[in-house]
């Protein structure tokens, strides 16, 4: 006789991905979900890429200055080593991780862990960013958040880079990026503000 895993008392894991442009509230939503898990007395571990030191070297911090303690790591395999006896894993800025992050998340979910991943789904050119497309394809739940375009006030889905620097990875905040919609990205740096 087959018995469902949840009836036998086994934990069932899954993968949640929170994506969108900069300033859309991805990290804020990640922090909210992780804090709720902590309130429920679940064991939570949070990881972020070591290169992201914009607000804090250790903590995950949103643009609104909300924060949660995290562990900065150099590569995604480290998560597997550090994820012992946990119920929930949070991963911020997943687009910066290596190509093993998708396999790591899959392994964690198979171990019965709830995995919550946040990251930019597109870069400043509107192209898929890092491993985010792969994470989105294996996710059980996806939340796509939008910012507000600073030019026209419509929903923004692209992190427009205000500088001429090339390269997909350029850490920055409002000094380098602003949220724009698809059409306002085409208007360039001298786009007239409609709002």
Does residue 35 contact residue 68 with C-beta atoms inside 8 Å? Answer: yes
| Nearest CA among 87, 52, 86 for reference residue 67 | 52
The DSSP symbol for 175 reads T
Tell me how far CA of residue 93 lies from CA of 85, 121, 173, in angstroms: 23, 10, 14
Q: What is the DSSP string of 123-174?
A: -TTS-B-TTHHHHHHH-SEEEEE-EE-TTTSSEE-EEEE-S---SS-----T
Catalytic annotation on 85? Answer: no
Given 29, 45, 93, 178, the catalytic residue: 93
Burial 7-22 (b: 16+ CB within 10 A, else e): eeeeeebebbbbbbbb
Residues designated as active site: 93
């Amino acid at each position: 006789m087959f018995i469902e895993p949840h009836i036998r008392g086994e934990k069932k894991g899954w993968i949640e991905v929170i994506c969108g442009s900069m300033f859309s509230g991805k990290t804020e939503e990640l922090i909210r979900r992780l804090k709720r898990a902590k309130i429920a007395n679940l064991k939570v571990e949070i990881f972020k890429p070591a290169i992201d030191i914009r607000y804090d070297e250790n903590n995950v911090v949103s643009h609104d200055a909300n924060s949660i303690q995290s562990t900065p790591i150099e590569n995604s395999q480290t998560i597997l080593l550090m994820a012992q006896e946990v119920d929930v894993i949070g991963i911020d800025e997943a687009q910066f991780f290596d190509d093993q992050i998708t396999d790591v998340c899959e392994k964690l979910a198979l171990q019965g862990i709830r995995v919550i991943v946040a990251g930019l789904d597109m870069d400043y050119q509107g192209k898929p960013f890092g491993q985010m497309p792969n994470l989105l394809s294996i996710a059980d739940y996806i939340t796509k958040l939008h910012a507000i375009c600073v030019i026209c006030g419509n929903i923004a889905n692209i992190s427009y880079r205000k500088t001429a620097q090339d390269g997909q990875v350029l850490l920055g905040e409002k000094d380098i990026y602003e949220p724009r919609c698809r059409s306002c990205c085409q208007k360039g740096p001298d786009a007239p503000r409609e709002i």
